[in-house]
Structure 1
Amino acid sequence: MGPGVVVTGLTLGALAVVSLLAFQANGAQDRAGAARPTVASTSTGPAASATPSASATPTVPPLPASSGSGTRVVYSAGNHFVWLVDPKKNPQVAAAFPVTPGSVEPAPGSYSVYSRTAAGTGTDGRKIEHVVRFAQQAGVVFGFGAALDDTTPTADPKAKTGGIRSSRADGQLLWDFASNGTKVVVVA
């Protein structure tokens, strides 16, 4: 694989990640110190707030029943939510948080983290961190990440981007949880 292919993949992933974070920029300061939801809030119903803000408090949807088993990152393309699941711990859901997708969603299925980048520059020029890539489909790289300025621009519908952006705090949690080889389950 030549350097041009690698740079193209990284650029596509970065663009998607940057797009995701810009969308979440509003209220980022309020969300930074938010507590993580508990298992009770994620497994029994939408009772707790994942990232409170001044305008609205999103509730944490329950972990999807079709999310598989074992240690995994679960991404709901329909709800734009992520759960970090470790069945060996109590609570099993280590964290759950909202995310903002790129312009293209990954197909439902089971994947593995294949690449991680601690820091870089997104295709929009923003500095990004904690990029965790798990799939490539039709030339689009899919992964999670966060912008250093906690911005989440709306994805450009003309560009095929697969970055799934979280806040910096949530991006750190995902980075610490999802090493290379970690299962990522995408549900509809």
Structure 2
Amino acid sequence: MTSSSAGFVAGLTVAAVAGVGFLAYQASATVPADLGGAHPGGKSSTGVAKSAATNPADLPAASGNGKRVVYSLGKDRVWLVDEDNKVRRTFRVTPGTLDPAPDSYAVTSRSNSVTGTDGTPIEHVVRFTDVDGVTIGFSAAVGKATSAPGPGVRTGGIRESRADGNALWRFATLGERVVVIR
């Protein structure tokens, strides 16, 4: 190949790469924010904040502000949120048979270890309300995996893993806010 041919091929390559880059930029500017394309830092390819639909572990927007525990009934998920509205930890939970109404509550009591209403030994119990005389709170089963409650058992225990239970225990002291959302 002569030097003029090599220069011509190099010029075409540069032009092609630039053209593809420009077309990719234009395409990314028209992508709706709720589609994929999320970049680190919580922004989509269009620079718009990610929607909760892109990642099920994202903190729901309507969960309040400030330090709080957020519990989603629909996602069976908990978020531990600090004073700066940063999620410190999020995890899945297994709900009891009774759900609290969506609202804002405060931690009313805590127990290091007790027996749950289903007869299971539990630890790090963090209670925040009751439904029809049954106490509702977070807890971790001791010595066995978390499982759904048996049929006909009325439980208010929202079960988490022992590691997640330890984190929630340290985070949610008496009076701490618990926000329950759909």
Structure 1 length as normaliser, TM-score? Answer: 0.66
1:114 aligns to what? 108
2:9 aligns to what? none
Instruction: Please say if residues 45 and 61 of structure 1, whose CA atoms lie closer than 8 Å, have aligned partners that are also in contact.
Output: no
Task: Give 1:65-104 correspondences, 5 Å limit.
Answer: 65-88=61-84, 92-104=86-98
Answering whether residue 177 of structure 2 is matched by residue 183 of structure 1, we say yes
1:126 CA drift (Å) = 2.9
How far apart, in 2, do the equivalents of 1:141 and 1:163 lie? 8
How far apart, in 1, do the equivalents of 2:163 and 2:92 lie? 12
For residues 150-188 of structure 1, the C-alpha deviation after alignment (integer angstroms, 9 at most, x for no partner) is: 422321341221110000000000000000000000000
Local SS of the residue matching 1:170: helix
Q: How many residues align?
A: 138
1:141 aligns to what? 135
Local SS of the residue matching 1:64: coil
How far apart, in 2, do the equivalents of 1:88 and 1:129 lie? 29
How far apart, in 2, do the equivalents of 1:39 and 1:82 lie? 21
Amino acid in structure 2 at the alignment position of 1:77: L
1:65 CA drift (Å) = 0.9
1:61 CA drift (Å) = 2.3
Of 125-134 and 74-83, more deviation after overlay is shown by 125-134
Task: Give 1:1-188 correspondences, 5 Å limit.
Answer: 40=42, 44=50, 60-88=56-84, 92-188=86-182
How far apart, in 1, do the equivalents of 2:73 and 2:137 lie? 13
Local SS of the residue matching 2:152: coil
How far apart, in 2, do the equivalents of 1:168 and 1:44 lie? 31
For residues 11-63 of structure 1, the C-alpha deviation after alignment (integer angstroms, 9 at most, x for no partner) is: xxxxxxxxxxxxxxxxxxxxxxxxxxx985xx84679xxxxxxxxxxx64211
Distance 1:96 1:45, change over 3 A: farther
Local SS of the residue matching 1:128: strand
How far apart, in 1, do the equivalents of 2:52 and 2:161 lie? 20
Distance 1:151 1:179, change over 3 A: same
Q: Percent identity?
A: 51
Unaligned runs of 5+ in 2: 1-39, 43-48
Distance 1:45 1:107, change over 3 A: same
Distance 1:149 1:140, change over 3 A: same
Instruction: Please say if residues 76 and 82 of structure 1, whose CA atoms lie closer than 8 Å, have aligned partners that are also in contact.
Output: yes
Structure 2 length as normaliser, TM-score? Answer: 0.68
Unaligned runs of 5+ in 1: 1-37, 48-58
Instruction: Please say if residues 93 and 158 of structure 2, whose CA atoms lie closer than 8 Å, have aligned partners that are also in contact.
Output: yes
